[in-house]
Amino acid sequence: MSLKPLTGAKRLRELLKDPEKLVLCPGVYDGLTARLALSIGFDAIYMTGAGTSMSRLGWADLGIATLDTMRSNAEMIASLDPSVPVIADADTGYGGPIMVARTVTQYARAGVAALHIEDQAQQKRCGHLLGKVIVDREEYYARLTAAVHARDSTESDILIIARTDARQTYGFDEALERLQKAVEIGVDIVFFEALASQDEARKVCEVMKKTNTPVLLNMVPGGVTPNMTAQQAKEIGFRLMVVPGLCIGPVIRSVVSEMEHLKEHGSVSKLNGSEGVVRGFKLCGLDECMEIDRKAGGKAYDTVGKSET
Using DSSP, state whether 216 is helix, strand or coil.
strand
Calpha distance 178→26 (Å, rounded):
27
Active site residue 193: yes
Q: Which of 11, 35, 71, 116 is catalytic?
A: 116
Task: Evaluate whether 83 touches 7 at the Cβ level (below 8 Å).
Answer: yes
Active site residue 46: yes
Active site residue 218: yes
Q: Which of 89, 119, 165, 200 is catalytic?
A: 89
Active site residue 116: yes
Q: Which of 119, 188, 193, 200 is catalytic?
A: 193
Distance set, CA 42 to CA 142, 230, 283 (Å): 34, 13, 15
Q: Which of 29, 35, 218, 247 is catalytic?
A: 218
Active site residue 205: no
Q: Which of 25, 126, 205, 247 is catalytic?
A: 126
Active site residue 89: yes
Using DSSP, state whether 242 is helix, strand or coil.
strand
Active site residue 202: no
The angle that helices 172-185 and 137-153 make with each other, rounded to 10 degrees, is: 30
Residue 159's closest CA among 292, 12, 46? 12
Q: Which of 61, 75, 81, 119 is catalytic?
A: 61
Calpha distance 86→79 (Å, rounded):
10
Q: What angle do CA 152, 156, 157 make, to 5 degrees?
A: 110
Active site residue 13: no
Q: Which of 35, 75, 81, 91 is catalytic?
A: 91
Q: Which of 35, 94, 107, 118 is catalytic?
A: 118
CB burial string 96-106: b at 16+ within 10 A, e below = ebebbbbbbbb
Question: How far from chain centre, in Å, is Cα 307?
Answer: 38
Q: How many helices (H) and strands (E) does the chain have?
A: 13, 8
Q: Which of 29, 35, 46, 178 is catalytic?
A: 46
Give Cβ neighbours of residue 73 (< 8 Å, ≥ 6 apart): 29, 30, 47, 52, 56
Q: Which of 35, 163, 178, 239 is catalytic?
A: 163
Calpha distance 23→13 (Å, rounded):
11
Residues classed as catalytic: 46, 61, 89, 91, 116, 118, 126, 163, 193, 218
